[in-house]
Chains A and B, each alone.
Chain A
Amino acid sequence: MSTAISIEHVSKVYRLGTIQGATLGDDLVRWWAKVRHKPDPQLIVGPHARRTGSQFWALDDVSFDVRGGEVLGLVGRNGAGKSTLLKILSQVTAPSSGQITFRGRIASLLEVGTGFHPDLTGRENIFLNGAILGMTKAEIRRKLDEIVAFSECADFIDTPVKRYSSGMYVRLAFAVAAHLEPEILIVDEVLAVGDAQFQDKCLGKMQAVSRGGRTVLFVSHNMGAVRRLCSRVVLLDGGRVSSIGEPGHVIEAYLGGGAQSAGLWRRESPIPQSTGIYFSEISLTNNRGAITNTLASTEPFNINLSVEVPTHARPAQISIRITNQQGIAVFTTANTDVDKRLLSVPKGRHWYSVTIPGDFLGPGRYTTLVGATIPGVVSFDVVEALAFTIEDMGSHATALRDGRMGIVTPLLHWTGGAGDNRGVRQTDSLAVAFEALLAT
Chain B
Amino acid sequence: MPAADHTTLMSGLPAPREPEPSASDPAMAVTIIRPSRSWFDWRLKQLWRYRDLISLFVWRDFVSVYKQTILGPAWHVIRPLITTLIFTVVFSRLAGLSTDGAPPFLFYMVGNVVWAYFANSLDNTSKTFTANSSLLGKVYFHRLVIPVSMVISNLIAFGIQFGILLVVMVIYALSGVSLHPTALVLLTPILLVILAGYALGGGIVVCALTTRYRDLSYLVTFGVQLLMYLTPVIYPLSAVPVRYRWAAQLNPLSPVFEGFRVGFLGVGTVTIEQLAWSFVIMAAVLSAGTMLFTRVERTFMDTV
Q: Which of B28, B35, B141 contacts A134 (CB 8 A)?
A: B141
Given A27-B213, A92-B140, A213-B16, is A99 in contact with B34 using a C-beta cutoff of 8 Å?
A: yes
Contacting pair A119 B135 (CB below 8 A) = no
List of 7 A-B pairs having minimum Cβ-Cβ separation, nearest first: A91-B140, A94-B298, A24-B213, A131-B53, A100-B33, A114-B138, A137-B52
Query: Which positions in A face B, CB cutoff 8 Å?
Result: 14, 19, 21-25, 27, 68-69, 87-106, 108, 110-111, 114-115, 117, 119-120, 124, 127-128, 131-137, 183, 211-214
Given A103-B30, A117-B60, is A136 in contact with B301 using a C-beta cutoff of 8 Å?
A: no
B contact residues, range: 35 or more
Contacting pair B215 A24 (CB below 8 A) = yes
- The answer, yes or no, to whether B17 is at the interface (CB within 8 Å) is yes
Please report whether the interface of chain A is mostly helix, strand, loop or mixed according to DSSP: loop
Contacting pair A101 B30 (CB below 8 A) = yes
**Which chain B residues lie closer than 8 Å to A110 at the CB level?**
138-139
Contacting pair B19 A120 (CB below 8 A) = no
Bound-state CA distance A24–B303 (Å) is 15
Given A119-B63, A183-B28, is A213 in contact with B19 using a C-beta cutoff of 8 Å?
A: yes
**Which chain B residues lie closer than 8 Å to A127 at the CB level?**
56
Q: Which of B34, B64, B136 contacts A119 (CB 8 A)?
A: B64
**Which chain A residues lie closer than 8 Å to B141 at the CB level?**
132, 134
- The answer, yes or no, to whether B247 is at the interface (CB within 8 Å) is no
Min CB gap B29→A, angstroms? 8
**Which chain A residues lie closer than 8 Å to B21 at the CB level?**
103
Contacting pair B28 A111 (CB below 8 A) = no
Bound-state CA distance A357–B8 (Å) is 45
Within 8 A of A (CB), among B108-133: none
Given A108-B139, A117-B60, A120-B63, is A98 in contact with B301 using a C-beta cutoff of 8 Å?
A: no
Min CB gap B8→A, angstroms? 12
Within 8 A of A (CB), among B171-214: 212-214
Contacting pair A23 B301 (CB below 8 A) = no
A-B contact sample (12 more), CB < 8 A, given A68-B19, A90-B138, A127-B56: A23-B214, A92-B136, A92-B140, A100-B33, A103-B29, A104-B29, A111-B138, A119-B63, A128-B56, A132-B139, A136-B49, A137-B55
Supply 29 A–B pairs (Cβ within 8 Å), ascending by A: A23-B214, A69-B18, A87-B137, A90-B140, A91-B298, A93-B299, A93-B302, A94-B33, A94-B35, A94-B37, A94-B299, A97-B35, A103-B21, A104-B19, A110-B139, A111-B138, A115-B135, A115-B139, A117-B60, A120-B60, A124-B60, A128-B57, A128-B60, A131-B53, A137-B56, A211-B14, A212-B17, A213-B16, A214-B19
